[in-house]
Amino acid sequence: MSRQAGRVDAVCRLFAERDSGTRRVTRTAIDKRAVDGPVTVDANGLDGDRVCDTEYHGGPFKAVYAYSEDEAARWEDELGRELRAGWFGENLRVSGVATTDAVIGERWRLGDTLELEVTGPRTPCGTFGVWAAEPQWVKRFSERGDTGAYFKVITPGPVEAGDPITVVHVPEHGVTVRDLFTGRDPARLAILLAQQPGLSPSVEDKARRRIDGLKVRVEY
């Protein structure tokens, strides 16, 4: 299965570290900005990018974070302001392809070489709340459930704005990033655990907690 589904609207990486505004970590790399030209992506993420909170961000299963233009537009309408590419801390702003409603394990080819695999949802944290400067932002973001998606890198390569996105594989289990984040159907999560190999430890733990009816820790 292979179908062209969308495009990369912007490639974003660290612009400047900032004070996180929280006590748990003092610095944040959430301030991403769009850059021109191709950027190399490997198992660690985008060249020139970084994370500060390595407990909950970064690593091979969170090497790349994508957010869709449709989801950003919904927030722009609600907040009444422009949310430029990178505002959500994303590395890729994309259009024409689902992020939160992508299937876990789904694979994308971006441009000619880079291949990514969907690994799970972004969990909003206190630092994101400070950055957004909107009342009850973490709660509102969580309730809407438009989390965007994290990816691991299957085949390294360059990416730049304008690259086509081709969906090259969608697992038959059909469990989406949103399904995992909301946890409203534990039976579907049991299917995910049974049918999707190579889940990240945090995703596997989250799914098992949802199945067991336990509250998943919110990463503040």
Pairing of strands 32-34, 18-19: unpaired
**127-to-96, 115, 118, 204 alpha-carbon distances in Å:** 29, 29, 24, 24
> What are 93's strand-pairing partners?
10, 67
pLDDT of residue 4: 66
pLDDT of residue 1: 59
pLDDT of residue 220: 29
pLDDT of residue 153: 98
Per-residue pLDDT 10s for the chain (220 aa) are: 566 689 999 999 999 999 999 888 889 999 999 999 999 999 999 999 999 888 878 999 999 999 999 999 999 999 999 999 999 999 999 999 999 999 999 999 999 999 999 999 999 999 999 999 999 999 999 999 999 999 999 999 999 999 999 999 999 999 999 999 999 899 999 999 999 999 999 999 989 988 887 554 444 2
**5-to-49, 107, 108, 110 alpha-carbon distances in Å:** 26, 12, 9, 10
